[in-house]
């Protein structure tokens, strides 16, 4: 939703994509902008939750491994810019 708010403020000041580049992490719900006007980094929310829950349950179950970093794949949908 931060992305939507940023776009609203930019629009109020007369700035809209592609005149200004906008990128959001997550998704861009509730907008009238064409998805091609904004760069979106889509996160695998469900997979993130499942992975975190498994790690937590493992820890509760006695897993004493040191903290680790799990890197999940994401998808970047780049804005198309015509100049």
For residue 53, give both structure tokens.
Answer: 């829950």
* Every domain of the chain and the residues it spans: 2-77
pLDDT tens readout for residues 21-62? 888 887 666 555 555 677 888 888 899 999 999 999 999 999
Q: Say if pTM beats, i.e. exceeds, 0.85.
A: no
- Res 18 pLDDT > 80: no
pLDDT of residue 83: 47
CA dist 74 and 43 (Å) reads 5
């Amino acid at each position: 939703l931060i992305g939507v708010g940023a776009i609203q403020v930019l629009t109020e000041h007369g700035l809209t994509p592609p005149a200004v580049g906008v990128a959001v992490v997550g998704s861009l719900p509730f907008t009238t902008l064409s998805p091609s006007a904004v760069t979106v980094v889509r996160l695998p929310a469900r997979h993130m939750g499942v992975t975190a829950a498994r790690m937590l349950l493992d820890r509760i179950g006695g897993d004493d491994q040191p903290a680790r970093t799990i890197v999940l794949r994401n998808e970047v949908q780049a804005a198309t810019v015509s100049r």
